[in-house]
Homo-oligomer: A and B are copies of this chain.
Amino acid sequence: MIDTPEGTNNYINLAQRAYEQAKDVSPRTRAGWLEEVASTLETAADELVLLARQETHLDDGRLRFELRRSVFQLRLFIDEIIQGEHLDATIDHADPSWGMGPRPDIRRVAVPLGVVGVFGASNFPFAFSVMGGDSASALAAGCAVVHKIHEGHLQLGLRTGVLVQEALTRAGAPHGLFGTIVGREAAETLVDHPLVKAIGFTGSTAGGRALFDRASRRSTPIPFYGELGSINPVFVTERAWRARRGEILSGYASSFTMGMGQFCTKPGLLFVPTDDVDDVDGPIDLAEVLRRELEGKQVTQLLSPKLRAGFEESLQAVRSMPGVAVLVPGDNAEAPRPTVLGTTAEDVRQRPGILEQEMFGPATVVIRYRPDTDLAELAALLEGQLTATVQAEPDEDVSDLLAVLRERSGRLLWNAWPTGVTVTYAQQHGGPYPATTATTTSVGTAAIGRFLRPVAYDSFPEEQLPEPLRDDNPWRIRRRVDGIWESAGKEEEKE
């Protein structure tokens, strides 16, 4: 089951050969391969969801939704590559009167990087695993993928890998375009191998940083697209608190317990005013309100014993910090009840470490701030985040707070909750370190761009150019020509 370095090298060499055969096929051909993968996963839903339930303790509804999401994602990427969005095709015809002196004919297109190593995540057995966002975007980009299966759902990973490989073969893709490996030694071999040109990773800050360092130390360093840790702060203004604190606490309780808090976008910090502000409508017993909100929530086991141990450890670390109180005690049952800790802005200012400890599981911290606190100054204590949320009234000026949060996160939310990351054109899932190790996204169509690099063709005759750069635009893609974007449709209309 565990792959040796030699076995891993074989997969990588096979992937390289497949990449060389596949790198220049038309987007429509590649789309056909990916559609076969998508429909195969769809057809195998019952089998895969059953396997996933056995290994992850996640419920049927959640797993089916997650699989549907993964299939949708593949199809959105298919549409994207058929339109050629990922190619960024740019044509500058020769121009003797160009402002800095005559320019030659020069044309640029994005080409795939080569073999990409992808690390599956524990918490999304479909959406961030074998055929999750990283694999799907690397394949869409034209790369070959060697995927390191997360051992938390090994059987599911292996079975999914076989289904994907069979689908690709059926669709006519070269053998080896997608492979899976298992084990730590195999993972290290993957990061070190000279033929591997980039890594996609979703996991812990410690593990991700170790692999980032490894990728950076190579004699030929490679990009390491790592999504590591995030605590996802939520700031509630005094006015919002007065206007709808019940609704806010209810939304918060639902969001941080969703999937037993095992989401990278789980809100781990809620900044709310102190009792002085509650007093306007009469004080509330925050602990009691949260206890009631959490009472009805279903609980399940966490994803794995290892994850459970890590959760307990991080919870213990925060709980034992000076100034931290327990608002709602969880428990140590097999399926643990959620925990809410509480502290104050003053304590956080003295010990900003509270703001840096992710608790991956059903626990969160409420931080109470005094009226007239400068929330922007408080937010400036935060590290990089995937998301940051503001709960405010529509006409409030929170521009200072938003400015600080924008510097520290990749997705800002307004009166919404960060859990649930839709796959769209505009999505951004990634933020300043330690949220991610790069300025890219691992969700949404823009994720494809991570696995491409630009190449310019200088002074080439038409017949020697690759298809996407030829004047007659045989792939009918959108391109920028002499500085002006042309739509593929425009070309078609001409015919």
Contact = CB atoms under 8 A, between A and B. Distances in A.
Nearest to A384: B220
B114 A100 contact: no
Interface string A101-124: 101101110010110000000000
A426 interface: yes
Given A76-B99, A455-B406, A426 B463 contact: no
A461 interface: yes
Given A409-B455, A454-B410, A426 B92 contact: yes
A109 to B, nearest CB: 9
A414 B459 contact: yes
A90 interface: yes
Interface stretch (A317-325, A334-342, A438-446): A438-446
Contacts of A411: 455-458
Interface in A208-241: 212-213, 216-217, 220-221, 223
A325 B92 CA distance: 41
Interface string A380-401: 0000100100000011001000
A226 to B, nearest CB: 10
Interface in A397-444: 398, 402-403, 406-407, 409-416, 418, 422-428, 430, 432-434, 437-441
A16 to B, nearest CB: 10
Interface string A69-110: 100110110000000000000111000001111011011100
Interface stretch (A249-257, A282-290, A346-354, A480-488): A480-488
Contacts of A398: 464
B65 A101 contact: yes
A478 interface: yes
Contacts of A99: 72, 75-76
Interface string A173-205: 000000000000000000000000000000000
A395 B425 CA distance: 41
A464 B76 CA distance: 29
Contacts of A108: 426-428, 446
A68 interface: yes
A416 B457 CA distance: 11
A458 B388 CA distance: 10
Interface size on A, as a range, is: 35 or more
A464 B410 contact: no
Contact of A461 (B414, B424, B454, B464): B414
A430 B223 CA distance: 15
Contacts of A457: 411-412, 414
Contacts of A440: 454
A66 to B, nearest CB: 10
Contacts of A213: 216-217
A422 B106 contact: yes
B113 A424 contact: no
A453 interface: yes
B439 A454 contact: yes
Contact of A458 (B76, B111, B413): B413
A422 B103 CA distance: 6
Contacts of A394: 461, 463-464
A428 B406 contact: no
Given A398-B464, A418-B458, 6 more contacts: A69-B100, A103-B422, A220-B384, A394-B461, A395-B463, A414-B457
25 contacts: A65-B101, A68-B100, A69-B100, A69-B101, A72-B100, A76-B99, A90-B426, A92-B427, A100-B422, A106-B422, A106-B426, A107-B426, A212-B216, A216-B216, A223-B439, A387-B458, A394-B461, A395-B463, A406-B455, A411-B455, A411-B456, A411-B457, A432-B453, A439-B452, A478-B485
Top-8 shortest CB links A-B: A428-B456, A439-B453, A416-B459, A216-B216, A72-B100, A90-B426, A108-B426, A103-B422
